[in-house]
Amino acid sequence: MKNSKLKTVAFVFSLTLVLSNTGCEKKAQEEVFATDSEYKGVIGKTLADSKEWWPERAHAREGAPNVLLFLIDDAGYGTASAFGGLMETPTLDSLANNGLRYTNFHSTAVCSPTRAALLTGRNHHSVHMGYLNYSSLGFPGYDAVMPGDKATIAEILHENHYNTYAVGKYHLAPLHEITAAGPFDRWPTGRGFDHFYGWQLGHTDQYHPNLYEDTKVINIEPNTKHVTTLLADKAIEYIANQKSIAPQNPFFLYFATGAIHSPHQVDKKWSDMYKGKFDKGWDWYRAEVFARQKKLGVIPADAVLPERDPTVKAWDSLTVEERKVYARFMEVYAGFMTHADYEFGRIVNYLKQTGQLENTIIITSIGDNGSSHSPRNGYYNAQIKSLEVDKQVPELAKHLDEFGTEHSDMDAPSGWTQATNTPFRLWKQDANSEGGTHQPLIVFYPKGIKDKGGIRNQYGHVIDITPTIIELTGSTIPDVIKGYKQKPIEGTSLAYSINEAAAPSKHTVQYYELRGKRAIYQDGWKASVFHETGTDFKDDVWELYHIEEDFNERINLAAKNPEKLKELQAVFDQEAKKYNVYPLIDNSQVPGSAGRGRSVFGKSDKIVLYPGVEQFMTYSGPQFQSQSFSITAEVDLKNKNEQGVLFSAGDEFDGLSLYIKDGKFQVAHNTGSVVRYLQSDKPLPSGKAKLTFELNYIKPPKIKPTDNRDVYRVDVPGGTESIYINGVKVGERAILASEGKYIANYKDGVDVGQDTNSPVTEHYKSPFKFTGSLEKIIIEYK
């Protein structure tokens, strides 16, 4: 293109010379120098002969509204007070009372798939996110590589001259691309967002989060702020910048909190608000919330509460100690939600203070799935979880003062998470059920909603949000975005229902599938399968519910109406073929929770890391799962005072750290239940040295669990851990199989030359940077 423009200039200049030589100089002086066919100015030989021209700057259509999309994590239908729950959410209450409550809205039942569907307006398998971004498989519906021909709402709004921001949990980039080397095409900034501030995996520590800004790892330590506060601060900063610099354009802000996904951590100010308020227990909670939901009109007046799940004990049957411990879990859980509502309220109040609120669409999905199916006794840390079930509660009781602090890694007991799914059965990841997929939705738009405080019962799904935003903002979808010819949106805009309460549902067919659990909805009927992991799909038993009359799936009609069941099964098959659902896959076919093959290093036998490399998120970096390996630090030691971390993976809840302290080479292996140490029995030499940690793993015997998956005993000998200085063994210990199964398998990250965020061991404080000369880290798998 540049060469063609130069040729155009050269041609016009030559023509001028020819005209001058033939006595037509006057006419030649009137010629202009064309540099671009779109240029509308005049370019002469001098400024006096020329005329400037600037293309008009593109703007959004006049009056286009701002859009704020708020997604809460892991929240069931009965959590927030806005929909009858007992977790106080005054901000959401206000938005709902001045907007609309949608009572028949649905997710996919888990994190990444819901987010992919929400942001693209397409089904999760259709955009290759059949399960989590770190559990990908080599099939079109499951590879986690979201295609460019199905643009995100951020990309679409960006084309319509919106400024776009993503704050909080993203959880959509392919695992092998979440590194400092990219590629960044499928990061938020590559999928239409001007800026991103948040994390890439499913959850993070609330006080020591793993954060990115745009595409860079940022280290905020020492940090004292809750991550939700940091997110709200950043969101307000983005809005302030945008409205100060480009007020003529609207913004799109995607605000996705880590709350109320585990770990449940929040300042005591918030959890103590609920002191004693849940002492009546989860059975009382379910009944109380159910009554409130009827009063609000967000469930049918003739609804019947399903029986308590058989895996959950009656509250009255619990011991005094169990009730005390479980009640405190719930106080933290509720405080976590109320704090998230408060921080979101700061954003809403900022919009009001700056005169933006009246022209802002706020859409809130309370949950990307139902509340989680957590352990019976809840979760505090791996050490207590490793105990026999009947010994856990007495140990938990010793830590009540630490519940919800930065030193806890909490999730509420399943009795409470089931209660917060009221009025439905089952939990998160149960894609066959309303309990896993039925979410409260709030739409607030002062300029567009007449029926403030209204209830809407039309069927909706997360794929409907993108088309709703497109219609309400008056945006258009270009035929081509970033060189990709766009494929059709698969969702249905809900805009038709905003001012027509009685309008019939336009979204009439929707499939659900997650790890073999699946369902099909059509015109008020639903057929579903609760697939047991590890069993043959041909043995699955289908159920049938008339959702229009039995909204919470109490009465299975499969035996009474086999023809309707057969009809719906055929519809599921049709939708599954259309949207990349096949092949059906459950967890029994997936090797490990993330697997070495999915990280950027694949199944390399050798990895070399150099000092200065950015922190890896644990799953995107080197993996240490049920195999033998060694880690060697090549150093050049100048004096005896040099110290610090050579290599670390994980945090105070589980991890591995190689470090030098007190003149000794040391290793801390935090198993989650206890920190085990190795320390060299010889002093370190001066000069160049190779310091090696070696884990020799012995695979334990297989046991057969109830769901037929391959599971191995972990309470048996699992090999040895040894340390070496220049090839000479200077320490060794035996390990259990459980200690080698997963090392730092999720939270925090992998660091070279330091241990950022939360430390693996109490023997040092983060980041404990190595003060000597570290040349490289070599990881070898055996």
Burial letters for 215-254: b for 16+ Cβ neighbours within 10 Å, e otherwise? bebebbeebeebbbbbbbbbbbebbeebbeeeeebbbbbb
> 506 vs 366, 409, 496, CA distance in Å?
22, 43, 9
User: In a 3-state reduction of DSSP, which class is residue 153?
Assistant: helix
> 189 vs 114, 193, 237, 368, CA distance in Å?
19, 5, 17, 22
Per the structure block, which two tokens stand in for 658? 């190689």
Report residue 711's pLDDT band, with 50, 70 and 90 as the boundaries: low
More confident residue, 242 or 597: 242
Report residue 740's pLDDT band, with 50, 70 and 90 as the boundaries: confident
Report residue 30's pLDDT band, with 50, 70 and 90 as the boundaries: very low
Q: What is the rounded CA–CA span in Å between residue 436 and residue 617?
A: 28
Q: What is the rounded CA–CA span in Å between residue 558 and residue 527?
A: 8
Rounded (to 5) percent helix, strand, coil in the chain: 30, 25, 50
Q: Are 43 and 68 in contact (CB under 8 A)?
A: no
> 52 vs 2, 10, 29, 30, 48, CA distance in Å?
21, 21, 18, 16, 11
- Reference 691, options 700, 701, 702, 682; nearest CA is 682
Residue 476 exposed, middle or buried by CB count within 10 Å (0-12, 13-18, 19+): exposed
Residue 20 carries which DSSP code? H
Tokens 């011991």, residue located: 319
Interacting residues of 458 by C-beta distance below 8 A, sequence separation 6+: 102, 104, 494, 497, 503, 504, 505, 506, 507
CA atoms within 13 A on the CB side of 549: 6
- Reference 103, options 259, 300, 286, 292; nearest CA is 300
Q: Are 534 and 709 in contact (CB under 8 A)?
A: yes
Q: What is the rounded CA–CA span in Å between residue 656 and residue 386?
A: 19
User: In a 3-state reduction of DSSP, which class is residue 710?
Assistant: coil
Question: Helices marked H in 363-444 — which ranges?
Answer: 382-385, 389-397, 414-419, 434-437
Q: Are 625 and 745 in contact (CB under 8 A)?
A: yes
Question: Helices marked H in 135-252 — which ranges?
Answer: 153-159, 227-245
- Reference 726, options 753, 686, 695, 697; nearest CA is 686
Interacting residues of 764 by C-beta distance below 8 A, sequence separation 6+: 645, 659, 661, 755
Share of the chain above pLDDT 90, in %: 85
Q: Are 439 and 433 in contact (CB under 8 A)?
A: no
> What average pLDDT is seen over the chain?
92
Answer yes or no: is pLDDT of 44 > 70.
yes
What confidence score (pLDDT) does residue 38 get? 85
Residue 32 carries which DSSP code? -
Q: What is the rounded CA–CA span in Å between residue 80 and residue 439?
A: 11
Q: What is the rounded CA–CA span in Å between residue 170 and residue 188?
A: 8
> 689 vs 96, 635, 722, CA distance in Å?
65, 5, 17
What confidence score (pLDDT) does residue 743 get? 85
Q: What is the rounded CA–CA span in Å between residue 720 and residue 735?
A: 5
Global pTM reads 0.93
Q: What is the rounded CA–CA span in Å between residue 516 and residue 529?
A: 8
Answer yes or no: is pLDDT of 776 > 90.
yes
Tokens 């609207």, residue located: 250
Q: Which helix (H) or strand (E) holds 331?
A: helix 320-353
More confident residue, 591 or 221: 221
Answer yes or no: is pLDDT of 367 > 60.
yes
What confidence score (pLDDT) does residue 708 get? 46
Q: What is the rounded CA–CA span in Å between residue 153 and residue 251?
A: 12
Answer yes or no: is pLDDT of 3 > 50.
no
What confidence score (pLDDT) does residue 294 get? 98
Answer yes or no: is pLDDT of 25 > 60.
no
Share of the chain above pLDDT 70, in %: 92
Residue 674 exposed, middle or buried by CB count within 10 Å (0-12, 13-18, 19+): exposed
Q: Which helix (H) or strand (E) holds 690?
A: strand 687-697
Q: What is the rounded CA–CA span in Å between residue 124 and residue 143?
A: 11
Answer yes or no: is pLDDT of 746 > 80.
no
pLDDT tens-digit series, residues 505-523: 999 999 999 999 999 999 9
User: In a 3-state reduction of DSSP, which class is residue 342?
Assistant: helix
Answer yes or no: is pLDDT of 14 > 60.
no
* Mean of pLDDT values over 228-247: 97
Answer yes or no: is pLDDT of 238 > 50.
yes
pLDDT tens-digit series, residues 312-347: 999 999 999 999 999 999 999 999 999 999 999 999
What confidence score (pLDDT) does residue 461 get? 98
Answer yes or no: is pLDDT of 747 > 80.
no
Side by side, the strands of the sheet bearing 629-637 are 606-609, 773-781, 629-637, 687-697, 717-725, 728-736
Q: What is the rounded CA–CA span in Å between residue 756 and residue 745?
A: 16
User: In a 3-state reduction of DSSP, which class is residue 629?
Assistant: strand
* Mean of pLDDT values over 126-135: 95
Interacting residues of 548 by C-beta distance below 8 A, sequence separation 6+: 524, 525
For every residue of 241-309, DSSP letters joined together read HHHHH-TTS-EEEEEE--TTSSS----HHHHGGGTTTTTT-HHHHHHHHHHHHHHHTSS-TT--PPPPP
> 306 vs 424, 542, 630, 727, CA distance in Å?
7, 19, 53, 64
Answer yes or no: is pLDDT of 42 > 80.
yes
pLDDT tens-digit series, residues 519-554: 999 999 999 999 999 999 999 999 999 999 999 999
> 166 vs 193, 199, 442, 466, 735, CA distance in Å?
6, 10, 20, 15, 43
What confidence score (pLDDT) does residue 320 get? 98
* Mean of pLDDT values over 285-311: 98
More confident residue, 624 or 364: 364
Measured in whole angstroms, the distance separating CA 643 from the mean position of its chain's CA atoms is 37
More confident residue, 365 or 595: 365
What confidence score (pLDDT) does residue 15 get? 35
CB count, 10 Å around CB of 726? Answer: 12
Answer yes or no: is pLDDT of 725 > 70.
yes
Q: What is the rounded CA–CA span in Å between residue 622 and residue 609?
A: 10
End-to-end CA distance of the chain: 53
What confidence score (pLDDT) does residue 521 get? 98
Answer yes or no: is pLDDT of 62 > 50.
yes
Tallying the residues shown for the chain, one arrives at: 782
pLDDT tens-digit series, residues 418-460: 999 999 999 999 999 999 999 999 999 999 999 999 999 999 9
Answer yes or no: is pLDDT of 52 > 60.
yes
Per the structure block, which two tokens stand in for 519? 């369902």
Q: Are 337 and 259 in contact (CB under 8 A)?
A: yes
Report residue 206's pLDDT band, with 50, 70 and 90 as the boundaries: very high
* Mean of pLDDT values over 150-171: 98
pLDDT tens-digit series, residues 458-496: 999 999 999 999 999 999 999 999 999 999 999 999 999
pLDDT tens-digit series, residues 598-609: 788 988 999 999
Q: What is the rounded CA–CA span in Å between residue 381 and residue 411?
A: 9
